[in-house]
């Protein structure tokens, strides 16, 4: 919204509040009332500066995102120098991230997923960005930028291709080939090209179909249209497995688990952290594991860091484990070393190999 005569309504601040109030209303969707609000970003030209319209729009958008991040719904954000500077840096980082994806400027670490005896069943690919000037940029800093700028699909595609290519070179481990797990947030089953993109990545890498696990959050797997379900079914028929990531968070429902087209359920680290001493976390973890087992799904516990957590999770029937207790993320060469030397040590395997 552009307004040159905002003084007529009391100035830009009051105008922004008026706009926010006008958009605060209740609408009816499928017979149910839904409360609607709007966050507003406000930017005004510097009196002595020469600001382009595109800059003003960008500053206002940055102020809006700042309002959404800092305030409750319906907040007002003002494009201060700090907000503008942050937006400018984010814009620069977005351009650099786009170039890094296109120019293979990213790398992958892998977090092993192990069975109770330490057998490495799979390894989850974790994208990293070693910036040539800024150093290693954490995913928490660049993933939101990828989301806001529409780069998540491109990022997913890069990770999928790189992970399948690197995993194809991993050696056998105790008579079997380790699988690789890839998180998807932008390349989703609802994408018309989903099946062909995944199939092409597997074929080009020379990876066995049953060595790829695709991890999606629960919300990506709810109410999928028939074409998306058909694409997943075709990939599953060829051997690809799907996992529900971070199950138990958001608006998860145990009853909905039976509807999700996935073979594995990952128990979120939010419940794993307190599973050994918090009755509520223990109850949620056990409910998820019991439900998954009853429906023929396997379970993986994320973020396992202590022996107590491991023993409790093993006691309730978790099938596989992932976390710093077993291994920190390593590069592909590190995965090959782990697979070559044998299983990782777990509290269970250490007890079996210790004095009797």
Q: What is residue 62's predicted lDDT score, i.e. its pLDDT?
A: 81
Question: Between helices 81-102 and 139-148, what is the axis angle to 10°?
Answer: 90
240: confidence class by pLDDT, cuts 50, 70, 90: very high
Query: Residues 70-96: what's their mean pLDDT?
Result: 77
Number of neighbouring beta carbons within 10 Å of residue 260: 21
Instruction: Give ∠ CA 310-315-318 in degrees, rounded to 5.
Output: 70
Q: How high is the mean pLDDT of the chain?
A: 88
pLDDT at 85 over 60: yes
| CA distance linking residue 23 with residue 131, whole number of Å | 41
252: confidence class by pLDDT, cuts 50, 70, 90: low
256: confidence class by pLDDT, cuts 50, 70, 90: low
| CA distance linking residue 87 with residue 170, whole number of Å | 42
Phi-psi region of 118 (alpha: psi -120 to 50; beta: other; left: phi over 0): left
Based on DSSP, count helices (H) and strands (E) in the chain, helices before strands.
12, 15
- DSSP code at position 263: S
- Of the chain, the percentage scoring pLDDT greater than 90 comes to 54
pLDDT digits (tens, 9 = 90+) for 261-295: 899 999 989 899 999 999 999 998 998 899 899 98
pLDDT at 352 over 50: no
Q: What is residue 154's predicted lDDT score, i.e. its pLDDT?
A: 97
pLDDT at 342 over 60: yes
Query: Which of 90, 16, 84 has its CA nearest to residue 46?
Result: 84
Token representation of residue 238: 């060829």
Number of neighbouring beta carbons within 10 Å of residue 143: 17
CATH 3.20.20.450 location in the chain: 106-353
| Listed range (100-114, 148-162, 331-345) with the worst mean pLDDT | 331-345
pLDDT at 26 over 80: yes
pLDDT at 50 over 50: yes
Q: Name the strand (E) or helix (H) holding 298.
A: strand 298-301
Number of neighbouring beta carbons within 10 Å of residue 20: 18
| CA distance linking residue 1 with residue 63, whole number of Å | 14
Q: How many residues does the structure list for the chain? A: 356
Query: Which of 122, 125, 119, 121 has its CA nearest to residue 162?
Result: 125
Token representation of residue 202: 């597997």
End-to-end CA distance of the chain: 76
Q: What is residue 355's predicted lDDT score, i.e. its pLDDT?
A: 43
Within 13 A of 69's CA, how many CA atoms are on the CB side? 10
- Contact predicate 112/322, CB 8 Å: yes
224: confidence class by pLDDT, cuts 50, 70, 90: confident
- Write down the CATH number for the domain with range 106-353: 3.20.20.450
Query: Residues 70-88: what's their mean pLDDT?
Result: 73
71: confidence class by pLDDT, cuts 50, 70, 90: low
pLDDT digits (tens, 9 = 90+) for 164-187: 999 999 998 777 889 999 999 999
């Amino acid at each position: 919204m552009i307004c040159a005569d905002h003084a007529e309504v009391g100035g830009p601040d009051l105008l922004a509040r008026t706009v926010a109030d006008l958009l605060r209303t209740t609408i009816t969707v499928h017979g149910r009332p839904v409360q609607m609000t709007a966050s507003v970003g406000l930017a005004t030209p510097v009196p002595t500066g020469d600001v382009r319209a595109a800059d003003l729009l960008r500053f206002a958008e940055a102020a809006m995102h700042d309002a959404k991040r800092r305030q409750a719904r319906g907040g007002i954000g003002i494009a201060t120098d700090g907000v503008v500077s942050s937006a400018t840096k984010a814009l620069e980082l977005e351009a650099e991230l786009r170039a890094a994806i296109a120019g293979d400027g990213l790398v992958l670490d892998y977090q092993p997923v192990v069975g109770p005896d330490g057998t490495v069943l799979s390894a989850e690919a974790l994208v990293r960005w070693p910036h040539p000037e800024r150093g290693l940029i954490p995913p928490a800093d660049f993933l939101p930028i990828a989301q806001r700028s529409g780069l998540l699909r491109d990022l997913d595609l890069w990770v999928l291709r790189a992970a399948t290519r690197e995993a194809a070179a991993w050696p056998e481990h105790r008579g079997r080939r380790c699988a690789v797990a890839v998180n998807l947030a932008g390349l989703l089953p609802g994408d018309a090209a989903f099946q062909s993109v995944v199939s092409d990545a597997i074929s080009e890498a020379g990876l066995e179909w049953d060595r790829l696990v695709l991890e999606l959050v629960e919300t990506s797997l709810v109410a999928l249209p028939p074409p998306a379900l058909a694409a997943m079914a075709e990939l599953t028929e060829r051997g690809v497995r799907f996992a529900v990531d971070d199950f138990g968070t958001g608006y998860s429902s145990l009853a909905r688990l039976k509807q999700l087209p996935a073979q594995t359920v990952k128990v979120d680290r939010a419940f794993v952290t307190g599973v050994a001493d918090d009755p509520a976390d223990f109850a949620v973890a056990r409910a998820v594991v019991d439900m998954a087992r009853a429906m023929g799904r396997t379970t993986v516990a994320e973020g396992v860091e202590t022996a107590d957590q491991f023993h409790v999770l093993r006691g309730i029937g978790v099938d596989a484990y992932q976390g710093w207790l077993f291994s920190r993320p390593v590069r592909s060469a590190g995965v090959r070393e782990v697979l070559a030397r044998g299983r990782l040590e777990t509290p269970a395997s250490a007890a079996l190999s210790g004095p009797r």
